Chains A and B, each alone.
Chain A
Amino acid sequence: MSIKEFITSIPVNKVGIKDILKFEKSPTNLLVAALTLLFLAFFVIGVGIYLVHGHHAYGVTRQHPWGLLIAVYIFFVVSSTGLCIVGSLGDVFGFKDYEMISKRAIFGSIVTILGGFAVIAFEIGHPVRMLIYNILSPGMRSAIWWMGTLYGIYLTFMIIEFIFLLKHDMKNARIFGLIGLLVGLAAHSNLGGVFGFLNSRTISNGVFYPTYFILTAFITGIYIAFIMMGFRYKLRFPDNAKVMLTNLALIQALLLAILMFFETWKMLTGIYGGMPGRADVAEHILTTWPFWAEVIFGMLIPFLVALLTKGKNHVMMFWASLIGMVGIFFMRYDLVHDTQLKPLQMMKTREYMLPPEWVHYFPSSTEMMISLGGLGIVVLLYYVGTKVFNLDADAH
């Protein structure tokens, strides 16, 4: 089969602009549509401001060079890896109950990573130069190099896997899905390594983040699985979806319990012994509201809902997952901000009688607009995908 034949044989729905604009005009749908358009407009405005003013349009500083856009990039790529894990349960590992979400989750993993790339393109000062010198002059000891390169390969494999899923070629989908999953996990743990390798930032340095990233990716993937299925079936789930969602909710409860256990020990080992630069930062984190937003929204509420309903109340799990994603956003923001909390140049902090203080950062409106724009891009691409492709499981 020639490449042309292969491409033309991919099953797609022939849709025009009119078909894309056609949807049930329910209040929820209209609200989502309006927000998506608003976010896309934000993206255009934010990018316009960035192109004129560069990084000066952002709240980042010399002491806090990574800001909201890095956090949002991580948010999207974590979502992508998580959806890849959820999608792989059915088509790679062969668990029949999860096959109904495979195609949807793999497509979700593609659009979320594209959203992440769209955001990071306006955080990296010279993205085109990055593409050139990543190849011509690779820094093989850099976690960013491995992360970026592996994510590029991962995206390629995800697209190939998705095409085979569309063509219902399960054998090839399994092969490319497995390779894509392994590359995705490697890429994602390298993203944790970007922080874990920072010897100068003792609060982040170590094995925690490379492993925690995989765990939180799985958790994020399950949250998004609930959200996608909730919108797909308008919260009136068919029986086969109920079986899958109950299982996912129980897995989620277990994963959240492990995450809370990990986090507790991270804070305990951080504070214990009073090591300067780590203990003081850990104690400070406990006094900040985004940390508690992360814990309450991202972990506690969904955990309690899954546990108390034994995973059987799928509508409540849908809402808990939406709340969970808000918590996941704070989780990413905290990860980036907390890493940079401690001023490194200790001598300077004592100038002019100023006591040692924490590095301050608050995102600018431009950063917020580009970040929301990333969300708009993801929702738009996903919506178009639901029209162009058949994302439901094929009948056997």
Chain B
Amino acid sequence: MARYGMALDYKNCINCKACEVACKEENGVLLGADKHRIWVGVKEVEGQWPNLDIVSNTFVPSQCQHCEDAPCQEVCPTHATYYDENHVVRVNSDKCILCSYCMNACPYDARYVDDRTMTVDKCTFCSDTRLARGETTTACQNTCPTKVRTFGDLDDPESEISILLKTRDHFSLKSHLGTNPKLFYLT
């Protein structure tokens, strides 16, 4: 049992999108389903030449926030969305009725319809693939050339992510909604 989370040193992101490709390859995400499981948000350079505000140009990699208090889990009428033993927010496609309430309730727009099963899908922290094989990294983390992502057990005080969160300042997205995300953006 673990309590998995992810820290993102997002200022290191170079928007190469290797994470998106690796996620698709690892988890069998359909081609064309771009920016579905994970994505890189882009903030373009502000200002006009030659007075460009270079620091305004940022890349913000994101995905399901694996909230401790996930609105998508609360609103599911059939418990298709559930927390697994590792506190990962998962979807049991056999129970999903495709009412799309979770898609409306998720503040991060992190859910999408998988056209093969016609059920709602999302990032699983590679629980069905890499974690199921006994590995301890996600595909997006493993492939990142600038080591933006650090994945690990938040309950293990010796884990790399726990040490990072103790030593680096960080924030969560839309934290005012009380969802307690387990994705942390390092500043």
Asked if A124 contacts B109 (CB within 8 A), the reply is: no
- Cβ B106 vs Cβ A350 within 8 A: no
Q: Which residue of B76, B98, B106 is within 8 Å of A125 (Cβ)?
A: B98
> Given A62-B109, A126-B96, is A339 in contact with B75 using a C-beta cutoff of 8 Å?
no
Docked complex Cα distance between A343 and B35 (Å): 14
Q: Give chain B nearest CB distance to A141 CB in angstroms.
A: 5
Chain B residues, Cβ within 8 Å of A145: 77-78
Report A115-170 residues with CB < 8 Å from chain B CB.
124-127, 129-130, 133-134, 137-139, 141-145, 148
Are A137 and B108 in contact, CB atoms less than 8 angstroms apart?
Answer: no
Interchain CB contact under 8 A, A200 and B43:
no
**Are A198 and B97 in touch, CB under 8 angstroms?**
no
B106 touches A144 (CB 8 A): no
* A65 and B103 in contact, given A129-B95, A133-B97, A137-B95 (Cβ under 8 angstroms): yes
| Choice from A60, A125, A137, A353 contacting B99 with Cβ under 8 Å | A125
Complex CA–CA separation, A125 to B95 (angstroms): 11
B162 interfacial contact with A, CB 8 Å:
no
Are B109 and A345 closer than 8 Å at their CB atoms?
yes
Residue of A with least CB distance to B72: A200
Best-buried of A148, A339, A344 by chain B (most CB within 10 Å): A344
The verdict on A199 contacting chain B, using a C-beta distance below 8 Å, is: yes
Residue on B with the closest CB to A67?
B100
The CA-CA distance from A148 to B39 in the complex, in Å, is 35
In whole angstroms, what is the CA distance A141 to B76 when docked? Answer: 8
**Interface assignment of B142: CB less than 8 Å from any CB of chain A:** no
Contact with A along B55-76 (1 / 0, CB 8 A): 0000010100000000100111
B1: CB under 8 A from chain A? no
Shortest CB distance A281–B (Å):
14
Q: Which of A143, A340, A351 contacts B41 (CB 8 A)?
A: A351
B74-117 contacts to A, CB under 8 A, are 74-80, 94-101, 103-109, 111-113
Q: List B contacts of A200 (CB < 8 A).
A: 71, 104-107, 174, 177
CA distance A63 to B113 in the complex (A): 11
- The reply to whether B75 and A143 form a contact with Cβ atoms under 8 Å apart is yes
Contact A350/B118 with A124-B98, A142-B74, A344-B106 known, Cβ cut-off 8 Å: no
Q: Are A348 and B35 in contact (CB under 8 A)?
A: yes
The answer to whether the Cβ of B42 comes within 8 Å of any Cβ in the partner chain is yes
A293 proximal to B (CB < 8 A): no
Chain A residues with CB under 8 Å of B100's CB are: 60, 65-66, 125
| Minimal Cβ-Cβ distance residue in A for B80 | A133
Q: B145 contacts the other chain (Cβ, under 8 Å)?
A: no
B44 touches A345 (CB 8 A): no
A148–B75 CA distance with the chains assembled, in angstroms: 13
Which B residues are CB-close (under 8 A) to A242? none
B141 within 8 A of A: no
Q: Which residues from A are CB-within-8-Å of B118?
A: 54-55, 125-126
A250 to chain B minimum Cβ distance, whole angstroms, is: 39
- Contact B43–A141 (Cβ < 8 Å): no
Chain A residue numbers with a CB within 8 Å of B105 are: 197-200
Query: What separation, in Å, do the CA atoms of A312 and B99 have in the docked complex?
Result: 45
Who on chain B is nearest to A354 by CB? B44
Given the known inter-chain contacts A200-B71, A351-B41, A353-B44, please indicate yes or no for A139 contacting B78, CB distance below 8 A. Answer: yes
Q: Measuring CB to CB, which residues of chain A are less than 8 angstroms from any residue of chain B? A: 54-55, 60, 62-63, 65-66, 124-127, 129-130, 133-134, 137-139, 141-145, 148, 194, 197-201, 339-340, 343-348, 350-353
User: Other than the known A198-B71, A345-B109, what 4 A-B pairs have Cβ atoms closer than 8 Å?
Assistant: A124-B99, A200-B104, A347-B43, A352-B44
Q: What are 17 residue pairs bridging A and B, where the CB atoms are less than 8 Å apart in the complex?
A: A60-B100, A62-B112, A129-B95, A129-B96, A138-B79, A139-B77, A141-B74, A142-B75, A144-B101, A200-B107, A339-B104, A345-B62, A345-B109, A347-B60, A347-B62, A348-B109, A352-B44
